[in-house]
Structure 1
Amino acid sequence: MHSAVPDHDDHQSPILRLNGVSKRFGEHAAISDINLTIHSGEILGIIGRSGAGKSTLIRCINGLVQPDQGTVEVEGRAIAGLSESELQPVRRRIGMVFQHFNLLANKTVAQNIALPLKIAGRPRPERQRRVLELLELVGLSGREHNYPAQLSGGQKQRVGIARALAAEPALLLSDEATSALDPETTEQILRLLGDINKRLGLTILLITHEMEVIRRIAQRVIVLDSGRIVEEGQTWRIFATPQSAITRKLLGSVLPEAPATLLAQLNPNAGEEAIFRLDLGGPGASAPILSDIARQFNASLRLVGGGMDDIQGQPVGRLFLAVRPQSPADIPAITNALAGHTLQTELLGYVSGTV
């Protein structure tokens, strides 16, 4: 499902570039000083809670809102100051997939998909041929004569994706496209988007408040809070070592937590076992850390919680480790040794006996 982060030629214009983009509504700063670049073939996720500025950002990207400051460029062309007629061909380079599908209830699947081509003046035979191609791509062959009311939520979203791809856009903008779907259908839609990215080399920008969506498909992630970018980087690195408080809060539902029974027994003072939280990620996460530490300090080590995952081909995990040292005096050296093998190590406290 995952495609590698593409290598970018420094001389190649990005698909989308925002430079210093800000927008206010009265006294409210919806977005402030947004700098963003997305290159061909990339899947970039932008995540933030409700009110973070995601909707305003989308509207600036597709030209529905003009920023107060800064520039928006689509395939190297600045869209500020363009007339509505000049904006139309630019907007056709951006396909939109919406949370609530936005299908026309009185039109068939084929008519919904063909609508952007009809508006663009494409001849009927071309529209029909393109519709059949797209139905096969999204796994809905044979459904062209159905109406939206005859489709499941996942099928409606597949139609929405096909419609967004009809005019062969350079960028697919997914606006909370899975928020209205159940987990199984969400997985299917994300797998489809990943397949489209891989097969077509299509650039995808995901706007979401769901960290699980980012984990599954995005190669790079930007965290938006109160209209500002507070963190950005490769997805696996953000998951492994989140820096901002809002990112850690957003990750709360997907990162392992220490067992409640363990936390209840923690003591800040010395005890028989020291409890550590280890954050791991990247190539070093596969090293035999625990056996090395046990051998080096002749200590007893037990895993008491946590887990490992694969994010964009990189191992990422959080482990909770109980260490029974030969001597309490070894704890500082053990802490330093663990820190040298992990992205982040924290001594949470001590317990008096086995937990």
Structure 2
Amino acid sequence: MNQHFPATAKIPVGTPERPEDVVRLTGLKRRFGATPALDGVSLAVQKGEILGIIGRSGAGKSTLIRCLNGLERPDSGQVFIEGREISRLGERELQPLRRRIGMIFQHFNLLSAKTVEDNVALPLKIEGHPRAERLARAAELLELVGLSEKAKAYPASLSGGQKQRVGIARALAARPALLLSDEATSALDPETTRSILALLKDINRQLGLTILLVTHEMEVIRSIADRVAVIDAGRIVEEGPVWSVFADPKSAITQSLLGGIRPQLPAEIARRLTQGAGTEAILKIDVAGEAARGPLLSDLAAAVPGSFRLVHGGIDYVQRQPVGTLFLAVPAADAIHLEQVIAFLRAREARVEVLGHVASFA
């Protein structure tokens, strides 16, 4: 019953076709009245990749998901799934395509009157598979998600995390090429969220499944995604490997979304920060890769005479790459010393920003 659609549409000039792209969007636009929900979105997701799409409420995430599964028609632009342009297909033509796309939801969407195994097997029932085949596939998937013992249970008896595991198993029933996750962990507590994300990552590794993960939580992106695209006001404002975007966020919205999980200047110091005179300059230093692996501050102390103090910060690992933010207090009276500190750090490929000045708080 599964189908792999051949490419049947011309590829727009400037958008190279890659056979490994499971999803490719080009110039996607969708308006609701005067409001642009999508404003020229172009994006690709490669086979076996986990792409995270993050943005605040109203940024366009839900409309993007609905365009991908054919529930929403873009006003212009193209949606390619496995090489086939789908945005103008009729409902009958869309049905086999939708079987190539699994979907997991924030609120699970399980049928309360059906057992767990019947919920998982439902897509296969819709396709017309025999009951024995459906139940065999359901048993296989329930073992994959760690819920074999719950096959005969009903959703009301399950925890939120168990319900989401059933939802994941159901999404995999028809052996999709693409799994769409729409805020799938937003209704779960942090511990359960971690277990669901670990399961998705494991499924990605075992099955080579392509996953497009839509969320408003940067911690979710950090935990599971290979690459991230930041959407704001219907536009992709930033895109790249997760560690790279974490290390050097370019857009204001990305910096804001990262605020909860990257070190921030302590509030006590931030309240006293001024752009005028002060005894100490406060520097924010962002480092990644080799610059974050080495003894940066020890090397600074050895290379540049004079004092400085580490007031806050730390090094973390994202996709096995070190990513750090440090805050230094440097005496402001000696302008030459301050310039030397900044020059040394920038020579080590650190991004340095002078946040302002404070009176000494030692």
TM-score by length of 1: 0.93
**What is the rounded CA distance, in whole Å, between the counterparts of 1:34 and 1:325 in structure 2?**
46
Question: Cα–Cα, structure 1 residues 339 and 166, in superposed 2: closer, same or farther, change >3 Å?
Answer: same
Which of 238, 259, 266 is matched with 2:266 structurally? Answer: 259
**What is the rounded CA distance, in whole Å, between the counterparts of 1:13 and 1:342 in structure 2?**
34
Q: Percentage identity across aligned positions?
A: 59
Q: Does 1:61 align with 2:93?
A: no
Aligned twin of 1:120: 127
Superposed displacement of residue 94, structure 1: 0.6
Q: Does 1:20 align with 2:22?
A: no
CA contact (8 A) 1:170 1:202 kept: yes
Which of 218, 221, 229 is matched with 2:236 structurally? Answer: 229
Aligned twin of 1:46: 53
Which moves more between the two structures, 297-306 or 87-96? 297-306
| Deviation digits for residues 131-182 of structure 1 (CA, Å, limit 9, x no counterpart) | 1111111111110011010000000000000000111101100000000011
Q: How many residues align?
A: 347
**What is the rounded CA distance, in whole Å, between the counterparts of 1:57 and 1:183 in structure 2?**
26
CA contact (8 A) 2:67 2:87 kept: no
Aligned twin of 1:198: 205
CA contact (8 A) 1:222 1:233 kept: yes
**What is the rounded CA distance, in whole Å, between the counterparts of 1:108 and 1:278 in structure 2?**
54
Aligned twin of 2:345: 338
Q: Does 1:160 align with 2:190?
A: no
| Deviation digits for residues 267-301 of structure 1 (CA, Å, limit 9, x no counterpart) | 54565543211111223211221111100113334
CA contact (8 A) 1:256 1:307 kept: yes
Amino acid at match of 2:190: P
**What is the rounded CA distance, in whole Å, between the counterparts of 2:129 and 2:117 in structure 1?**
15
* Structure 1 residue ranges without an equivalent (≥5): 1-8
Q: Does 1:289 align with 2:296?
A: yes
Amino acid at match of 1:250: L
* Structure 2 residue ranges without an equivalent (≥5): 1-15
RMSD: 1.9
**What is the rounded CA distance, in whole Å, between the counterparts of 2:332 and 2:33 in structure 1?**
61
Superposed displacement of residue 13, structure 1: 4.0
Aligned twin of 2:37: 30
| Deviation digits for residues 232-272 of structure 1 (CA, Å, limit 9, x no counterpart) | 11111111111111111212212211112223444545655
- What secondary structure sits across from 1:119 in the alignment? helix
CA contact (8 A) 1:258 1:305 kept: yes
Question: Cα–Cα, structure 1 residues 10 and 59, in superposed 2: closer, same or farther, change >3 Å?
Answer: closer
Superposed displacement of residue 221, structure 1: 0.7
TM-score by length of 2: 0.91
**What is the rounded CA distance, in whole Å, between the counterparts of 1:175 and 1:343 in structure 2?**
36
Which moves more between the two structures, 271-280 or 253-262? 271-280
Q: Does 1:307 align with 2:314?
A: yes
**What is the rounded CA distance, in whole Å, between the counterparts of 1:171 and 1:346 in structure 2?**
41
- What secondary structure sits across from 2:39 in the alignment? strand
| Deviation digits for residues 78-135 of structure 1 (CA, Å, limit 9, x no counterpart) | 1133222211111111100000000000001000000001111122222111111111
- What secondary structure sits across from 1:186 in the alignment? helix
**What is the rounded CA distance, in whole Å, between the counterparts of 1:29 and 1:127 in structure 2?**
42
What are the equivalent positions in structure 2 for 1:2-21 lying under 5 Å apart? 11-21=18-28
Aligned twin of 1:144: 151
Which of 154, 175, 178 is matched with 2:182 structurally? Answer: 175
Superposed displacement of residue 327, structure 1: 4.6
**What is the rounded CA distance, in whole Å, between the counterparts of 2:46 and 2:40 in structure 1?**
20
